[in-house]
Amino acid sequence: MTAKPVVLIADDHPDILELVSVTLELDGYEVVQAGNGEEALRIASERRLHLAVLDLMMPGMDGHEVTRRLRADDPQGALPILILSAFAEDRQTALALDAGADAYMRKPFSPRELLATAGSMIVGRHPHGRLAARA
Amino acid sequence: MLITTIDSPGSSSATAKPPRLALRFAVYTGIALLVVAVAMLWVLERDVETRAEERAVVQTQQVAQATLRRHLRGADFARPVTRERRATLDGNFKDIVVGGFLRATLFNRAGEVTYSTDHALIGTTRRPRTFGGVLAGRPQRSEEYLGKTKVLRTFVPVRVVAGGRPIGALALTQDYSSIDVQVSEAFRHTAAILFVALLALWSSLIPILRRATAQLHDRNRQLATQASELEQALLERRRAEETVLQLAAIVESSHDAIAGTSRDGAILSWNAGAERLFGYTADEIIGQRAAVLVPAERMEELITVARLVNGGEGVEEHDTRGLRKDGSEVDVSLTVSPIFDHAQRVAGAAVIARDITQMKRQQSQLQALLAMERAARSDAEAAQQALETRNERLRELDRLKDEFISLVSHELRTPLTSIRGYLELLLDGGAGELTKDQARFLGVVDRNSKRLMHLVGDLLFLAQVEAGKLTLELGDVDLHDVVAEAVEAAKPSADERGIALRAAIDPTPSILGDRSRLAQVLDNLVSNALKFTTSGGSVDVRLSSASGHAVLEVRDTGMGIAPGEQEQLFERFFRSSEATDRAIPGTGLGLAIVKAIVERHEGRIEVESATGNGTTMRVRLPVRAVVKGVAA
């Protein structure tokens, strides 16, 4: 059995942090939580990650800035970044994708949809992932 | 031009005249001398002739007295001589030597020929005209023609005693040519001498003549020059006079006041303009001082101007005030120029005063207008400033509003995220199997949280529309698919409520639009139709095309909309009385959103309905050229 894909989740709302974690863990991911942007960057520098799921509006460093910094250290785009935000405007989506995010998902989200998106993003880069194996 | 026509004839004559003049003089004097010569010759000829004739008379007398006295007897003059005596006398007269002698005749006092060398004449009586004179003692002569021969006949009285009464006359007839020979000879000599003398005189005259004509010519030339100078002077004077007249007319007709003053300021001339401006007539003002036209407080100016003018300078368009006859003052623009005499001394001044009252008034009006304009402009600028400030504030407010909407929407979505997320996890069995009641209760939560989510979505959408921030992702939209999908999606709900949902799709060209927004339109219309239609009714969706438009129709057999409410139908939060009465769920935002999307596509939406008789919503969307090769 291969090691679980490691997913970083950054969100300032504990309820949502928990919801995303539970959803992903139920589907067999290892989850690392961050309550703000700085913490997310620290974890990203310490751990080898397979996916980053970032909220946009966080106190201190926001999701756009975290995305930019992650991309600055990873110009090849090895780490897929999924933005999960309650901002529904197209403008916010465009800004996030400009900063280097790979996908944008609006809150409220369907856990099933999240799993499908996350799976496609990781499997796209890791052909030996669990879902790929199952498919 | 005038000058050249005057000059040219004089100059040409000056060069052509002298030789002609001299020649003419020579010819004239020649002719005169010739006439004199001819006259003198004529006189001379006469004189010579007379003397020759007189000599002939003398000869005849001598013949009568000296030669014949001895031979003639008184009886020879009494009656025609006898034959014997005739022969004797023939012999006596044969010896008479007189040039050209032709005939000798003796007359008695009665005129009877007593003897003649021409014997045929003896006894005839001939009394020539001059016979009386002969008998009175005066010898007579006459020229006559004897046949064709010109002859000179000389009568001399014959006396017996010297100094006594003539007893008859002796006539000698001579051939005239003998006298002519003498005459012509004498004449030739005299004529030759005369001719030479005259020629000498004439030739001696020529140089004098030449000098005289040259002098005459010079004199003529001088006179011509003087005449032309005089003419020129006259012309100039006439021109000067014309100029003066013209200037006077200009001065007189000028609207400006024009006056002339002497050096000490006395007014010398005064035009009609001045009469009008100052009110004085020329008669009243001429001779007065210019100072009467100047207000008391402006005398200093007058003195300054006078000083300038007397110094040979002038004043140009100096704005000042003049004093009228009636005591009122007038704004004038003053121009004063010095007038110089022949010695270039200042003799006086030309004064021009222009009435600038009107101009001053206009100027002040203009100033007032300019001031008003400045005030208006500064007002406008202030207003502009205020407007800009307000616009700035409005933009700021707009931005704040956008931000506010964005934040509110975000803050509403965040708790909804937890509700919806956890609910789904529960319903999916993420926390273990649910009992039937638990599932039913969670279903209610699920439905309502969904409504809440839609409400938040609709509000945000309308806020964006209002802020003008609704952007379309344009593309080639095949409305067939959109209709089919919407009907497909609504089918379960229709089936559940026992409503027949049907779709009729005509071939329709693609349109340029935002596919997801158009799908939203159709979803809203279909779900509305289903909501207001009771079980057993039907909802028909129809896609067709007409005159460049795609036409979408959603017809239901529902309760219909009261005519009075149809206009408000597309307002936000409007809910029909039926919907409220029957507690049909809804926010009143659906049709407002539909209308916004349709209008953003430059289309139209219309409603056809009667209470209790169903409703038809019709959307017309313009077909555009979106597929290559297909015209708009």
Which pLDDT tens digit goes with each residue over B204-240?
Answer: 887 887 888 788 888 988 999 999 999 999 999 999 9
Residues 6 or more apart in contact with residue B620 via CB below 8 angstroms: B546, B549, B550, B551, B552, B603, B604, B605, B606
Q: Among residues of chain A, what percentage have pLDDT more than 90?
A: 57
Closest by Cα among A23, A86, A58, A84 to B421: A23
B430/A111 touch (CB, cutoff 8 Å), yes or no: yes
Mean pLDDT along residues A60-78 = 91
The residues in A 80-119 lying below 8 A from B, measured between CB atoms, are 85-90, 106-112
Contact: A89, B411; criterion CB under 8 Å: no
Cβ contact B618:B486 at 8 Å: no
- CA distance to partner chain B, nearest, from residue A16 (Å): 6
Q: Compute the nearest-CA separation of A112 from chain B (Å).
A: 8
**pLDDT for the residue B5:** 39
Instruction: Report DSSP letters for B516-581, one per residue.
Output: HHHHHHHHHHHHHHHHT--TT-EEEEEEEEETTEEEEEEEE-S----HHHHTGGGSTT---HHHHH
CATH entry 3.40.50.2300 includes domain A6-130: yes
| Residue-wise pLDDT tens digits, A105-123 | 998 898 888 999 998 888 6
Q: Which of A57, A110, A112 sits opposite B410 (nearest CB)?
A: A57
Q: For position B566, what pLDDT does the model report?
A: 84
Among left, alpha and beta (phi > 0; psi -120 to 50; other), residue B508 is: beta
Q: Which sequence spans correspond to the domains of chain A?
A: 6-130
CB B155 within 8 A of CB B126: no
pLDDT at residue number B69: 66
Residues A67-73 have a mean pLDDT of 93
pLDDT at position B32 is: 85
A59–chain B Cβ distance below 8 A for any pair: no
Name, in order, each residue with C-beta under 8 angstroms of B238's C-beta and a sequence gap of 6 or more. none
Q: What is the pLDDT of residue B629?
A: 37
pLDDT of residue B376: 92
A98 pLDDT band, cuts 50/70/90, is very high
Mean of the per-residue pLDDT values of chain B: 84
Mutation site for B-interface testing, chosen from A87, A93, A113 by largest number of B Cβ within 10 Å: A87
**Low-confidence stretches of chain B (pLDDT beneath 70):** 1-19, 64, 66-69, 96-99, 625-632
Of the partner residues B411, B417, B428, the one whose CB lies closest to the CB of residue A108 = B417
| HSE-up (13 A, CA, CB side) for residue A8 | 31
User: Does the beta-carbon distance from B425 to A57 stay under 8 Å?
Assistant: no
Nearest chain A residue to B460 by CA distance is A88
**pLDDT band for position A135 (cuts 50, 70, 90):** very low
CB neighbourhood size of B80 (10 A): 18
B425: nearest CA partner in chain A: A111
Q: Tell me if ipTM is over 0.85.
A: no
Distance CA B474, CA B472 (A): 6
Contact B577, B569 (CB under 8 A): no
